[in-house]
Amino acid sequence: MAPKLERFVSPGKGNGLRATGRILKGELVFSAEPLANCVSKKVSRDVCHHCFTRCETLLRCSQCKMARYCNITCQKQAWSVHKTECKCLRSLLPRIPTDSVRLAARLIFALLSPSKSCSEELYTLEEHESHLSCMSEQKKQGLSHLASMLQLYLQQEVPELALETPSALPPVCQDPLSLIAKVTCNCFTISDGELQEIGVGLYPSLSLLNHDCRPNCVMVFEGTKLQLRAVREINPEEELTISYIETLSLTEDRQRQLEEQYHFTCHCQRCGCKDTDGLMVSGEEVSWRPMMESLSRLDELKAESNWQVLLESCKHLLSAASSVVPDENLYKLRVTDAALDACIHLGYWEEALGLGLRTLPVYRQYYPDPHPVHGVQLMRVGKLQHYLEHISEAADTFKQAYQIIKVTHGDTHSLTKDLLMKMEECRAEIDQQSFHNN
């Protein structure tokens, strides 16, 4: 248990976590391995199912045909967890269960393993809320379908775990609908160094953290290990908060997402003042609305890795908006980011750099606190500048990124180490240029 936090009853919010002593900006407050986790279905071909590392070439499990590993070592280390799941996956081939079903099943496997224990958790799985009473009938029906999938998944090849005989299961797992509801409401999205989703995991104690749209802590991942860091100084007895969602959204959209997914209405200071809403929809609505309405289609193209069509679509939207929609418009920013992703994947480096540079002033405006999203964006632009031999500019961009990343990730994180290496490369190249010029 971390020495500087404790569980308490947060007024109007229920359970929460607060500081027991002064916490410094950038300090690692808590770190935890998941009780259960799995690689996201949409990246299952690209990420090692044991260490969660992205690899171009992965070894595939010869039995279930789904699990993939970066090498034999990872495959062997994963077998104790994967062997039961492997039977379930084989029985359903070629169908693959949803992430929430796989995660719920892996939770059951973990709780049945004598090596797993929740005894030192600040918040046990039995205490986790399912929020079923707050859900709409439509949401309950969707969860009921997932619960049925979970039953089918477990009954295929592991009859001793069948949910028709709940006495064989830990108490928290005996009601499949409640279990699925708890998993979907309390799981965390595991992200890679560039903050892209690679998996989902359950970290019971950290489910105590309450939401704020301008939180005092952020969560980052090193593989599957979750690290909670303070992004500003926190006083004793002050509540620790994180953001449950992407905060770069209109107040109305943030509140709707929180109500639909987490079943509460946010009354934080930012939601009360709506400080950036006007800027996010600045410009002529007739010009930015097509961009807003195209976002779901752009996400589909990105998921399909259809980069050329994605870039063409983004260019058309950006051209139509032209100068009548400022760069600060939320939807223009998202389309610009999508175009940047496409250019990077297509190797259009000069065009990518131009797009990236356009986003930086907007990121700086919307992420005034040390925020990992801003830091990662600066790193992306710095890498483009470095590749295109704009060495002095790259060095300056990397320096700005480091001022953020050292707070949000700490000096020992692999992303920080990569950034420091890039900064050193720039310094060496600048020194070499200076030597030749003299």
pLDDT at 119: 46
Containing 295, the helix (H) or strand (E) segment is helix 285-303
pLDDT at 160: 57
Alpha-carbon distances of 331 from 17, 70, 276, 336, rounded to whole Å: 35, 37, 14, 9
Strands (E), 260-385: none
Other C-beta atoms closer than 10 Å to the C-beta of 144 total 14
Give buried/exposed letters for 239-248 (b at 16+ CB in 10 A, else e). Answer: bbbbbbbebb
Q: Domains in the chain and their CATH numbers?
A: 35-186 (1.10.220.160)
* ∠ CA 311-47-50, rounded to 5°: 165
Mean pLDDT in consecutive groups of 10 residues from the start of the chain, 438 residues: 80 92 96 94 94 93 94 94 90 87 91 60 80 87 91 72 62 87 93 93 93 96 95 97 94 94 91 92 95 96 95 96 92 98 97 98 93 97 98 97 97 96 96 81
pLDDT at 134: 85
Containing 370, the helix (H) or strand (E) segment is none
pLDDT at 154: 83
Q: What is the DSSP string of 79-91?
A: HHHHHHHHHHHHH
pTM value is 0.91
Phi/psi region, residue 389 (left: phi>0; alpha: psi -120 to 50; beta: rest), is left
Between CA 194 and CA 217 the distance in angstroms is 18
Sequence-distant (≥ 6) Cβ neighbours of residue 66 within 8 angstroms: 44, 60, 89, 96
CB 101 within 8 A of CB 149: yes
